[in-house]
Structure 1
C-alpha cells in the first residue's frame, strides 16, 4: 500500500477503504508517513469530501490510535454528554447530578479549559479538596454505587487526532465537516460511553457561527456515533450570548447550584432539562421525552438533584458545605458594577467578547501553562431583549487587579449593541437531531 496511491485516489474523488484509512492513521501516528503527504491528503479530503463510511472509518482509526477506556465493569448503559463549547457553559455541573439522581450511569471524563474560562474539571476544583483523579477501581465503584463520577482525561486518548489536528491547523483544512466531526467523536468513542448526547453550540460565542453549519456538524456526529454502534443524538443550541448569567469558574458553580435548586436562569434550566430528558431516553429510563421531562422536573422540585450534587462532591473529596454556603467557594477580592450609560434594549451581545473579558481577568488560559484564578469573572444582568436605563448595571465584574479590570471593561463596552426598539428574545433550542 502506497501513500501516493491513497492521495491520488482521494484527489480523484474516490472513496477510501477502511484498510487505506487505517494505514494512513497508523503510519502518521508512528511517524512513518511524512507531514507533506498527509497534508496533501487532507487538502484532497477538504475539496472532495468523505462519505459517512469513510468518516466512520477515520473516527474509529483515531479512537483506536491510543488508549480506549473500557467501562464494562460498570453495570447498565453509560451515558455521556459533550458540548462543542461556549461562554458560560456550566451545563455538566447541573446535568451530571440531575441525570444520576434519575438513575442513569454518568461515567465522564472532562478536560481543562483552554480559552475564555476553565473547563468542567477546573470549575469542579472550586470545591476545596475535589479530586479530579480517581483510581480505576474508585471510578467504577462510584458509578456503580452512586451513578456518578467525573474525572480529568487520563491516558493518551486519540493521539492521532491531536497530531492530525495540529497539521490541519497549519494547512487551512480545519473547517471540513467530516474532519471536525471525526475529531470530536474519536475522543468520545475512546472514552467508552454507550450513549452520547451532544450539545452543538451555534453563534458568536461558538466554533460554529452559522446555524446551517451547526446543524450539519450535529448530523455528521450523530451519523458517526450511530454508525459505529453508539446511541447518539444532538441538540443544537444558541450561543449568541452567554449561557446563563455567570462567566467564570466559581461564579458558574454558584449558578449551577442555584439551577439545581430550581432557581437558575431560564435558558440554563431549559437547556439542562432538554439535555437531561434525552439522556434518560438514551439510558432507557423513560418511555418518551415528556415523561423524561416530568421526571427531571420532579428531581429539581423535590431537592433530590441538589442532594446528589452534595453526595458527588463528597465522594470525590470536595467540601460539600459549599453547596449550602457559597463562602466556601473562591471569592474575588473586588467587584464593581459595569454600566453602559445608555437607554434602550439589548439588541445583541458578542458572547466571544464577554468570554475574552473574562479571560483577561484571569478566568481562563491563554496557553496550557497558564494558571487560572477560580474566583474572577463576570455576571451579566442584561441579556438580549432586556431593557436598560442610564446608570443601570448591565454586568458586575469580579476581579483581583485594577489593570485587568480596566482591560475587561474596554472589551465589554464593545460587546453590547443597544437599540431604541424593543427586541424579541431569541430562541435557545434550534434543532434536535436523532
Structure 2
C-alpha cells in the first residue's frame, strides 16, 4: 500500500487526472484541490500540473467530443477518473508540445497510482486510436463546442453580445497576463519599473492604470523584486479601476463590502491614506485572514469585520458611510480566462440566485450610505442580468438613487461601464457609480 502511495505522489498525470475528477465530478474549485496536488512536486512540475489541468478545462467540450467517439461506453464510478486521464492524453496530443510517446506511455503508467491498473490496455488503445485516426484534425462542426464554453454560457453571450461574442469567446480561451499594482506608499511607479528593467523582467504599461504593470510572461510572484517589502500587489487591470472610480477623499469613512482577498481595500488606502476609517467586510473569517495578510505585507491598516452584507443589523454600528464599494458576489464570468474551472462549476440556474442576492445586498448597503454619498457597484461578471439590468432594477425601486452619468456608457439604457475580457489586456468587469440624493 505504501509503495503505491509513493508512486502516486510522483505521478504527474495521475495527479492531474485526480484534480480534474475533483473539479468536474465532485464540484470542487481548482483553488480547493490543485494546490494540494502541486505540493507533492517541484516548481517546474507544479507549473506543468496547472498548465495541463487548466488546458483540459479550457478545451473540455472538444475533448469530451473525442471521448464519445473513441470510448465505447462511459466508465463506471470507481474508474471514472480514467476518463479524465484519457482526456488529459488527448489534450497533450492535440494542444501541447508533449511528445507523442510521453503522452501515451505516461498516461498508461498513471493507471496504477489511480488504482485502475486494469484499464491500462484501454487507455493505451484509445490514445493510439486517437493518433492513428488523426483525431486532432477531426474537430466538430459546432461553434459552441469549439468555443470551449458550456452551452448555457455560450447562449447567454450570444444573446447579450451578438456583435462581440466571438471576440469575447476568444479572449476567454486565452491565458490571462499577470498584472501588478505598484504600492505608491512604498515605492514610486517609475522606481519600481526601473527595478524591473534592471532585472531584465519584461513588462508593458496601460495608460488607464497609472500604477499598473503587465508582465510579459508568467513567473513566481514571490521572486519579483520588492515582494516581501510590499512594493506591489498582484491585481488585474480591471480590478485596479475600482479604487480610482470610488475616489475616496481625506477624512471619509469607507466600507469595502465583500472585500476578500483585500486587493481593493489596500488600493483604496494607497490612494487616500488620510481616511477617517476603512472597514473591510467579508462573510467568511478564513477570507478575512487573506485580507489581513495582504494589508500586513503592503503596510496598510483597516478594520476587519466578519459579517453578512445582506444582514447588516448583525454587525453595523449605526454610523453611515461616505462611500461604499460593493464588490458583489457574482458568476465570475469575466475572469474565466484566469480561472477556467468557473465555467464548469457554475450552472445557468445559479444566475437567478446570484441576481436575487445582489439585489438584497444593494438594498441593505444603500441604507448604510450617507445622503450625498457614493456607492460603487462592481462585479467580475459580463452578464447583463448581474450588471446593467441589476442597476436599472435598483434605480427603478429606489427614489433617492441616481447613476453618475459622467461615468455611464453611451447607451442610456445601459448604465455603468462594462469592461470585456481581453479589452486592453484586462479581465471582464462591470462598474456603476450610484449617487444618493
Structure-2-length-normalised TM-score: 0.24
RCO higher in 1 or 2 (8 Å CA, sep ≥ 6)?
Answer: 1
